[in-house]
């Protein structure tokens, strides 16, 4: 378990590294790191939206292999805009949950 302060610092460290590795369009933080009721954070959950020409499985593998020295456990959910659009109307979809309950921490300029 990690303090909320440490989790916020870890997000600031991880986002530039994710951007460098994945070249995403957008990144959202979601999950336990955003729940105000919890004093402690288990991990950081990132939704990483990459271009439609990218292979999400390859990007996920790349993030997991190349970002091993993380300040705390991180989970990467990688998707394309087409995948998001396809599942957006399903309220139980992890994509919908991440987008509706999450916080955007990066948008490609």
How far apart, in whole angstroms, are the C-alpha atoms of residue 85 and residue 100? 13
Domain of 100, CATH number, reads 3.30.460.10
Q: What is the pLDDT of residue 38?
A: 64
pLDDT surpasses 80 at 17: yes
Q: What is the pLDDT of residue 35?
A: 73
- Domain range spanning residue 77? 2-107
* pLDDT tens digits along 19-29: 999 999 999 99
* pLDDT tens digits along 28-67: 999 988 876 667 889 999 999 999 999 999 999 999 999 9
DSSP tag of 73: -
Q: What is the pTM of this model?
A: 0.93
How far apart, in whole angstroms, are the C-alpha atoms of residue 20 and residue 89? 31
Number of domains observed in the structure of the chain: 1
């Amino acid at each position: 378990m990690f303090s909320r302060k440490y989790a916020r610092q870890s997000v600031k460290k991880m986002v530039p590294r994710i951007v460098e590795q994945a070249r995403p369009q957008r990144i959202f933080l979601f999950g336990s790191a955003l729940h105000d009721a919890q004093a402690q954070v288990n991990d950081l959950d990132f939704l990483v939206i990459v271009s439609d020409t990218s292979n999400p499985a390859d990007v996920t593998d790349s993030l997991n292999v190349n970002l091993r020295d993380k300040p705390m456990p991180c989970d990467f959910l990688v998707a394309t805009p087409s995948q998001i659009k396809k599942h957006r109307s399903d309220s139980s979809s992890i994509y919908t949950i991440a987008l509706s309950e999450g916080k955007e921490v990066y948008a490609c300029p």
